[in-house]
Amino acid sequence: MAKADQYLGLPNIVGNGSESDRILAVELDTIMNPELRDIDSNHVGVDVNSLVSRQASPAGYYDDDVGGTFQELRLNSREPMQLWVDYDGQARQLDVTLAPVRVPKPKRPLLSMNIDLSTVIADPVYIGFSSATGITLTNHYVLGWSFSLDGPASSLDFSKLPVLPLVGPKPRSKVFVVVLPLAIASLVAAVLAAIFLIVLTRRRRAVLSTALPGQFLGLLNNTNDGNRSAHVFAVEFDTLFNADFHDLNSNHVGVDVDSLESRVAADAGYYDDATGLFRNLSLISRKAMQVWVDYDGAATQVTVTMAPIGLARPKKPLLQTTVDLSDVVQDAAYVGFTSATGILFSRHFVLGWSFGLDGPAPALNISALPALPPAGPKPRSKVLVIVLPIASATLVFAVGIAIYALVQRRINARPTIRQVMQYLDGDMVLPDLSPEHFGFTVMEQMYSREFDKNMTMSCVSSTSMGTVSDISGGR
């Protein structure tokens, strides 16, 4: 059974790498996963029965117009691209070529490998597309495609391809765009006037933050990023690659000083004291981690260390850099956390933290930390899961018995044709036909048909009246 997340809806944790899967895929990957030996968070790879690519390369193409120079392409740039996957059965060669839309197919492919697909693909074969997002909300678009056997696939007509959907909310109605601003203009003016009067009365100076969300993480903006007057020191845990800030990849830790372009950065992870080997950590794994940020004022040195929660602090830090924070941090300094998501929906959790001046920060009590909230819908109450079905089953059973008893009573109360004939021939004794034998409805019907009241009462127990009533009731 195929799984989502890093398995892209193709194999799963059990079948990944099994020859029985018979899968050939060309992956366009925007998330680096160390478990699958991804080279980075923006690559193209050829997968055969496994998501550990046999060959991989950073996304891009060899530009024929500039002598075959390699040009990088960002898979998450929202710019349409065209991909050619060609297989030569006689030469047993698979070529993968990538280029921007409307750029002719480059002469040199991005990837080329020898492989005998007759040992991989079984009959019948299914051709198509698969994708997965994990906990990060993203969209993947296939604007057009063509396929061919024993020859090149048909060229795409770019004029007929749809455009990429807009990012962000849908355009608002003209009523909201034109009429609503005019309607609330007076209210805004009144509010501004009230605020102005309050400010004048209290004579307070308001300090308004100009920090932006998204890629600026609520710290800086596009005008003061890189300006020493910002007086910002931060350790970033970044899960989105941003070329504007020269990010290392989409899973890194960096030290930022007055800029979101890190002074020093490294893949998220730690050095194992037992082996000395570097162990990758995925920042989006939903596994709790601990981070130590230390500053030595005498040596003007910042060190950043991280490890899985519960593991002792590694001796070798992840990052170490020299920076004089006396030029960055002013007398009035604020210590805390900030995060941003941009157009992608995600959540960031700080389960606990401590801070110390002129000495190590107090150690965290791991057992007292809260657990991460579960992902997905909340689990239903056990009362609804267990008690409600039992109560419903009991009610249904009781109603069923009541209906069965009522039907049996009706069946038993009405004589069969054979019984009627036996009553008429005198072979069977008539049942009790006292007034209590007739229900209220039967008595009402007798009165509504203008039976003589005295006759009805006197004849209820007579043979002829009882016989006629039962015969008419049985038709």
Predicted local distance difference test score (pLDDT) of residue 449:
46
Do the beta carbons of residue 389 and residue 439 sit within 8 Å? no
Predicted local distance difference test score (pLDDT) of residue 115:
92
Strand partners, 304: 293, 319
Tokens of 308: 């899985």
| Helix axis angle, 417-425 to 463-474, nearest 10° | 160
Nearest one of 47, 45, 67 to 58, comparing CA atoms: 45
pLDDT classification of 349: cutoffs 50, 70, 90: confident
Q: How far, CA to CA in Å, does 77 sit from each of 8, 144, 244?
A: 20, 18, 12
> Across all residues in the chain, what is the average pLDDT?
78
Virtual torsion, Cα 270, 273, 274, 276, nearest 10 deg: 70
Rounded mean pLDDT, 462-475: 35
- 8-state DSSP, 461: T
Rounded mean pLDDT, 107-128: 87
Which of 252 and 5 is assigned the larger pLDDT? 252
Q: Would you say the pTM of this structure is higher than 0.75? A: no
Rounded mean pLDDT, 301-322: 93
- Kindly list the structural domains of the chain, giving each domain's residue range(s) and its CATH number in brackets, ordered by start: 5-160 (2.60.40.4220), 214-368 (2.60.40.4220), 383-474 (no CATH)
pLDDT classification of 460: cutoffs 50, 70, 90: very low
3-state secondary structure of 271: strand
